[in-house]
Structures are given as C-alpha cells and as structure tokens.
Structure 1
Amino acid sequence: MVDKIQLENGLTLEIWDYSRRLAGDRWLVGLLIQVGVCPKKEDFANETYYNLFMEKTDGKVYYRYRKERHFVPEDQINQLFSTMKEGFLTVALPYLSHPEFKERLIKHEVDLFQKKMDWERSIQEKDAETERLEELWKEKNIY
C-alpha cells in the first residue's frame, strides 16, 4: 500500500502499487484503489445470507478500481503510476466521498452476494437431482 486517504464520508481509500518486472527493463505498472465497508446483519435479506457472507468473506464489501499498463520502460514507471493515480483521484474522489456512497455500495454488493448464493444453491440442487436420476436410471440397465 502506498497511500491511505480519509474521505469526507468517513471511509478510507487505499492506494496499492502492484507493479512488477515483466522482462528485461519492461514492467507492468499496476494501480489498485479500494474502499472497504463492513455491512451489518440488517443489510441482508435474512440471517442465513449474513452468516454465509461472514463465512465466505473477510466481512467487508469493496469498491475496487484497477488500471494496468504493460511493457512500460523502467525509467517511466514512477511517472506513469503517478499519472494513473492522480487521474483517478481527480475524477472519482467526489463520487467516493459522497455521503450516500457507503449505503449504495453495501446495497449493490449485498444484492450481488445474495444472487450469487442463490445461483450456487440452484446449481447444487440441479447437480443433486442429476445424480439422483443417474442412479435411478443406472439401476434400470437401459442403454
């Protein structure tokens, strides 16, 4: 992490540099910006979803932004990273600092999580039904 910024709405924006050498003097310049928020039990449709969320995640939902540039000469890494970072902050800081950003992020990410859990459950149910039918038809010796 290269920087932390306290936003006006009380959230913390983290700036990460995951740049690395690709080959010779060529680099991948990688910028990750994230804001993590902890949803409450009340943000979920029911306690089951909340418990699944706590079991499968670190207890936070994230806004994440990534930007990469490949095969950057070594002498341009710092300048490019600074340009990418400043460009993002100029455009997105008012959005991320909005008083309603936290609630909107939680609602969006919790809805996505619940849909994903419903989808996974339906896939498991279909797989179980397929296995049951395969066993049923295997016993009938129909080929």
Structure 2
Amino acid sequence: MVQPIREFPLENGLSLRIFDYTRHYFGDFHHVRLELTCEIPILSAHFAEPADREAACRLLGNAVVYRRTVEQMGVPSAEVQPTVERLIGNFTHHALPYLSTPDFSRRFVRAEFERVRARRRRPIGYLPGSHD
C-alpha cells in the first residue's frame, strides 16, 4: 500500500494527503504524478433533514473523497524532486485555501450526493444531449 508523502492538516478539521505515483517511462525521463486526497465524513450538519443524510450514506457510504491528480511528463531524473515540490506548492497555494474553508465539507458532500443521485435517476441508455 502506498503511503502518503505529505499530509496537511486543514483549519476546518480535514486533512489533505499527497501520494506519489511517479514512474520512470523512457531513458532518463519520468512521469511525475501526484494524487491529492481529502476524506470527508458525511455528517448530520451537512443536511437540513436527517432523511437526506441517511440517503447520502446509502449512496455514498460514510465518507466521500475529494481527489485530484497533478502530473507532468518528460521530467529528467535530476528534476523529479524539484518537480514534485513545485506541483505540491502550486496546488497548496491555489487550492488549499478553498479546501480549508469552514463550509467546504458541507458543499462538497452535498454536491457529490446530488451528482450521484442525478446519475441514478437517468434512464438506462441515457446520453446527455440525446433527449432533444
């Protein structure tokens, strides 16, 4: 099992974990690939109605995962670690403030719940744009 290379505790009580899936692919070149995840428990506070939380847990389980991949191809061996640090720095500079907001977990859980619920309502064979 891959262990996180870094973990950022967030001000809202969540934690961002970074996993490194970098691999060598040709000659002196690497594919630097980082996966950033944040597990968000589904709480009663995320919903106005207890029935909505129960429905969300039935569809999503007890938690949802925010997951992003950042990557760069063609990285020479000597540049792998600086590239990893740059990708982490870019993500934390731009996205960490958003992930750290007090309302992030509620908004993300509700959005995932609505996305999955809408997908389940579509008829079999449904293609977006084909219903016109």
Task: Give the TM-score normalised by structure 2.
Answer: 0.78
Instruction: Report runs of 4+ in structure 1 exceeding 4 Å deviation.
Output: 40-44, 46-49
Q: Distance in 2 between matches of 1:6 and 1:83?
A: 19
Aligned match of 1:34: 37
Aligned match of 1:51: 58
Q: Distance in 2 between matches of 1:60 and 1:47?
A: 12
Q: Which of the numbers 68, 90, 94 marks the counterpart of 1:91?
A: 94
Aligned match of 1:115: 118
Task: Output the amino acid matched with 1:53.
Answer: L
Q: Deviations over 1:65-101 (max 9, x none)?
A: 2111112111110001101101111122211110101
After TM superposition, give the deviation of residue 102 of structure 1 in Å. Answer: 0.7
After TM superposition, give the deviation of residue 16 of structure 1 in Å. Answer: 1.2
Judging changes above 3 Å, is the alpha-carbon distance between structure 1 residues 70 and 35 closer, same or farther for their aligned structure 2 residues? Answer: same
For this pair of structures, how many residues does the alignment match? 119
Unaligned runs of 5+ in 2: 127-132
Identity score, percent: 29
Judging changes above 3 Å, is the alpha-carbon distance between structure 1 residues 112 and 97 closer, same or farther for their aligned structure 2 residues? Answer: same
Judging changes above 3 Å, is the alpha-carbon distance between structure 1 residues 37 and 46 closer, same or farther for their aligned structure 2 residues? Answer: closer
After TM superposition, give the deviation of residue 53 of structure 1 in Å. Answer: 2.9
Say which structure is richer in helix.
1
Task: Give the TM-score normalised by structure 1.
Answer: 0.73
RMSD over aligned Cα atoms? 2.3
1:71 matched to 2:74? The reply is yes
Task: Output the amino acid matched with 2:117.
Answer: Q
SS in 2 for 1:123: coil
